[in-house]
Amino acid sequence: SWQREYLLRIIPDDDQVIHPQWIKYYDELPPKTLRAYRCTYAAVDLAISKKDSADFTAIVSALVFGRADKLRIYILPNPIIKKLNFPEQVDLLKTYNDTVLDDSHDVLLVEGVGYQDALPQMLETLGIKATTVKPTTDKRTRLALTAPLIQSAKVKFPKKGAEEIIRQ
């Protein structure tokens, strides 16, 4: 689809928000038993159509350790990037909640714009707590806000399994 090609196109260095040399990797995830472990976050960017021209639903998760200067965020490998309809999203997030978000402190963040507000409501009827996040800026601006965390290595990526989100 043109959106996928647009997202995966090479961007001139002066237009990039995140520079490749800023990306830092981890070999192993720190254990959740560390005192600094706070919780696992999963962020969901929804798209409802399965048409070729439609956007993809994406779920990216991270383990979060520490706070302020000691904050460390470890992006989990193999984010979900699929074309899903509404019932498939509900089923996937129910399974995801039961497997990846297995602690009561874990947080499921769902972008809530238009139709997307229905998903957290549906999940709630299934006993799944989902926090709706209403974006106030465009995706490029939101990405720019994460740049200092990535550049300072507070956000780290797996050596394998995050190639597509890094490329995007």
Strands 57-65 and 72-75: antiparallel
pLDDT band, residue 6 (cuts 50/70/90): very low
Is the CB of residue 106 less than 8 Å from the CB of residue 129? no
d(CA 166, CA 163): 5
3 pLDDT more than 50:
no
15 pLDDT more than 70:
yes
Q: What tens digit of pLDDT does each residue of 73-95 get? A: 999 999 999 888 888 999 999 99
Q: What tens digit of pLDDT does each residue of 47-67 get? A: 765 565 557 889 999 999 999
The average confidence (pLDDT) of the chain is 85
What is the arithmetic mean of pLDDT over 99-117? 82
pLDDT band, residue 8 (cuts 50/70/90): very low
Q: What tens digit of pLDDT does each residue of 30-39 get? A: 999 999 999 9
